[in-house]
Structure 1
Amino acid sequence: MSPSLRDQLLQTAHAYLDAHNNRDSDGILGFCAPACIHRAGPPTVKSPDRNNEEYASFNVEVFKVLHTYLATITDAVVDDVSKKVVLSVEAKATADAGEYENEYVILLKMTEDGKQVVEQYDFVDSHRMIEWMGKLGEFAQETWEKK
């Protein structure tokens, strides 16, 4: 018996996030429709919209910086009429530059069958993100000066 549309949407959302936790670029893209758009906000984060290829390249670079990464869903809202899932997520990671922690609200718009993402919008705590980017910059500067 196949899952209900609501269950399918939630299952896809969990699997999509698991692919990120596993740093599996092919797995991530396997859940994306060919014309999927990846957005991030708020505008203070200054993140461009990305297609699948750009999003995969971006993730490869992020995965290089992080030793560990774990995003945990703390809440989920599913709208099976509009084919949307909203996730409340807490993320933790480690890197040479230090510990990273942040909160996200992720909106996933899905295909009619609920098996692929057609649009992803990550709303991130921009204050924490800007602080993290500063730490990365300081670490890079210190590392460069030691060479």
Structure 2
Amino acid sequence: MPRVSELFFKTAIIFFLLGIAIGIKMGISGDHGAFPAHAHFNLLGWVTSAIFGGYYALNPAKAEKRLAMIHYGLYTLGLVVMLPPLYLKYAYGMDAVEPLLGVGSLIVAAGVLVFAIQVFSSAQSARSVASASAR
């Protein structure tokens, strides 16, 4: 499995565990105010990161590109900046974290844009170019 796929899958599991912890806390307390954060941890952190990992596993030539690791770093940074303040806003009413939410959201969006570039770019890697020219 390409390294970027493994990183996306490992990161996905971490966010999945955090999303489950938020869900358990809401269930025990009976306070479901943090459900938007719970949904974002699970959908952006767990599901989307796992989809990215699967995409790169199915497209190893694209996983070899430097842009794949830039995608991983940018998207994951965005989640780390965005998701904790999102939880603090909805679980504890901390509206002062909204600027961080905005910055994190923009970083996540940039990560998704890099992924879109990967999807629409040529799948030819440097190795496949070298092997094709050797024939």
Smaller-chain TM-score bracket: 0.3 to 0.5
Higher relative strand content? 1
Scaled by the length of structure 1, what TM-score is found? 0.35
Question: Rg: which structure is higher?
Answer: 2
